[in-house]
Amino acid sequence: MQTITNDAVAEKLEEIATLMRLAGMNDFKAIAFDRAARTIEALDVPVTDYIEEKNLTDIKGIGKSIAEDIYAFAETGRIPVLDDLHEKVPEGLIKWLSISGLGPKKIYKIHKELDITELEELKEKCKNGSVAGLPGMGKKSAEKILKSIDWMEQFSERCRLDEATEIAERLIEELKDLDGVQEISIAGSLRRQSETIGDVDILIAADESDASPIFDTFTGHESVVEVLGRGDTKSSVRTAEGRQVDLRIVKPEQYPAALMYFTGSKEHNVVMRQRARERGMTLNEYGIFKMTDDGNTDFDKPVSYESEADIYNKLELGFVPPELREDRGEFKWFEDNEEAPLLEESDIRGVLHAHSMYSDGRKTIREMAEACMERGYEYLGLTDHSKTAAYAGGLSVEAVQKQWEEIDALNNEFEKEGKNFRIFKGIESDILPDGSLDYPEEILEGFDFVIGSVHASLEMEPEKMLERYRRAIENPHCRIIGHPTGRLLLRRDGSKVDLNKLIEIAAENNTAIEINASPWRLDLDWRFGQKAAKTGLMSAICPDAHSIEGIDDIRYGVSIARKGWYTADRILNTKSADDLMKWFKNGN
């Protein structure tokens, strides 16, 4: 029997449910697999305990058929019904799942009625009115599908920050301890923590004699599906995820200059080279050199340095963190300052914006709280979806009150056990089209805090969207605005609300705007960080976690905050639980 995790089993059951819907099968069967997936995820013991005893059917919601599927997965790593579904469902339809606004049922409807399976066919049918003519679709639906496809294709050569990070960390882990590797780092836009990444760049310092075996390991890694090129100093591969990874090996003495050069950005490098020339030097990927009298590089007169920081110091600058290297004010700052007091991940004291099984989360409140404690956090701001978000299991008033009782009981339990941990009663309330929140006043008063988010009608005219936000922000119960544009990176653009004005309105009303740390969102965009600083806006690093693993997305939110020049005192969840509660209640 293979060693499998609860999450791995749940993932396979979810995949079966999705493919069943794509195949047009009875939805009750798909629902059974969905429920079984949630049940397995929620187990407080390893599913292998049940597999070994062959008593999976003792778990409520796991019938004989699904139990046999799980046993097969444990024994062979495969599930026959899943293999059959993969043969039955065209590969093209699976790709359609990435189109914003198209779920499995709509995909099946379009496929069945129009007899198409490929993306290009779908585009054509959207353009000629065929999709709009289907029951339950319409012209607006067809336009949204086309817009989403255009958006996807525009960014098809890029990936999310978390995807690139996973690839880079996996390869670096394999390479870092090889003989001859003296230093190793990611470079490029990934090192600068851009929200989306093209090629993944890795740089190694090693002697020439050690380069070949290092490249052997790199090109022979198990995740590599194609070697795109191999030379003496650079090799390029394509991984199973479809991403290109470039590995450069430079001489150890060149490494700091090469790391600076290959980190970029292009705009930052242009200014750095100009600063060097103004001081009688040349800067390139090989080092920093004196210039001859006629303005050429004198390669016989290198300027000594040991680190990137040394190079910045030679050009009369403090060390510029990689996240800030975008030529957006860093030179002016670091001419007068050795460092910038940027937010650190260790500054984060608690988790705000997380979901439980009360709505569309995958874990119980207790499990989410315990996961936060294991990571050293002091509090959890639980924010399940509000009632209008029926698609995400939005909470009725009765469910809200039941959840409050559970939170009170857990907080009492933690206090008696001497645990320094608190669960805040929050909600992610939909901001309705008219700007109102999703519950009556007497219910809103019972929450410790409310995150107001727009999930529908994102295409609203910018002026109307701004007024929608204004009304929500002026509601004293709305303490944080969630993912202000509603964008999904590489899948759909967000609303066109004027973020500069939205930031001003929020700051005037002492309402925070989150930096949604989900790698799908990273919204508020880092480019508005300096505007936020000028207005005195508070923000929060919010993982929008729907699972325990989602809590760890905080790292990406911190990166985006740093890129936006955020300091710890401008982030709500660097406060203690007591100070945060004071801020929720009176704003200071």
Q: What is the DSSP string of 408-432?
A: HHHHHHHHHTT---EEEEEEEEE--
**Antiparallel, parallel or unpaired: β 449-453 and 478-481:** parallel
- Residue 299: how many CB atoms within 10 A of its CB? 12
Q: Which residues pair with 428 in a beta bridge?
A: 385, 451
Residues with Cβ < 8 Å from 539, sequence gap 6 or more? 512, 513, 514, 515, 524, 532, 561, 566, 570, 571, 572
What pLDDT is attached to residue 210? 97
User: Treating both helix axes as pointing N-terminal to C-terminal, what angle do 64-76 and 27-42 enclose, rounded to 10 degrees?
Assistant: 60
Distance CA 453, CA 504 (A): 17
Token digits of residue 397: 């008033």
Every domain range in the chain assigned CATH 3.30.460.10? 159-250
What pLDDT is attached to residue 1? 56
Look at residue 379 and give its three-state secondary structure: strand
Distance CA 99, CA 94 (A): 10
Every domain range in the chain assigned CATH 3.30.210.10? 256-336
What pLDDT is attached to residue 133? 93
Distance CA 479, CA 445 (A): 12
Is-contact 350 377, C-beta < 8 A? yes
Q: How far is CA 35 from CA 303, 386, 393, 425, 427, in A?
A: 65, 21, 13, 26, 24
Q: Which residues pair with 282 in a beta bridge?
A: 289
What pLDDT is attached to residue 46? 85
Distance CA 507, CA 501 (A): 10
Q: What is the DSSP string of 343-354?
A: --GGG--EEEEE
Is-contact 33 67, C-beta < 8 A? no
Is-contact 213 207, C-beta < 8 A? no
Is-contact 87 80, C-beta < 8 A? no
Token digits of residue 54: 């062959």
Q: How far is CA 379 from CA 371, 414, 462, in A?
A: 11, 11, 36
Every domain range in the chain assigned CATH 1.10.150.110? 6-154
User: Would you call 316 exposed, middle or buried from its count of C-beta atoms within 10 A (0-12, 13-18, 19+)?
Assistant: exposed
Distance CA 266, CA 270 (A): 6
What pLDDT is attached to residue 2? 61
Of the candidate CATH numbers 3.30.210.10, 3.20.20.80, 3.30.160.60, 2.60.120.380, the domain formed by 256-336 belongs to 3.30.210.10
Look at residue 250 and give its three-state secondary structure: strand
Of the candidate CATH numbers 3.90.1300.10, 3.20.20.140, 3.90.1150.10, 3.30.365.10, the domain formed by 345-586 belongs to 3.20.20.140
At 529, which amino acid appears? G
Look at residue 315 and give its three-state secondary structure: coil
Q: Which residues pair with 423 in a beta bridge?
A: 380
Q: How far is CA 147 from CA 22, 153, 483, 486, in A?
A: 22, 10, 20, 15
Token digits of residue 38: 């949630």
What pLDDT is attached to residue 99? 83
Is-contact 204 260, C-beta < 8 A? no
CATH class of 6-154: mainly alpha
**Antiparallel, parallel or unpaired: β 379-385 and 350-354:** parallel
Burial 551-574 (b: 16+ CB within 10 A, else e): bebbbbbbbbbbbbbbebebbbbb
Distance CA 513, CA 560 (A): 14
Every domain range in the chain assigned CATH 3.20.20.140? 345-586
Phi/psi zone of residue 418: left (φ > 0), alpha (ψ -120 to 50 degrees), beta? left
Spans of the chain below 50 pLDDT: none
Fold assignment, 159-250: Beta Polymerase; domain 2 (3.30.460)
Cis peptide bond prior to 265, omega within 30° of 0: yes
Query: pLDDT tens-digit profile of 167-214?
Result: 999 999 999 999 999 999 999 999 999 999 999 999 999 999 999 999
What pLDDT is attached to residue 3? 67
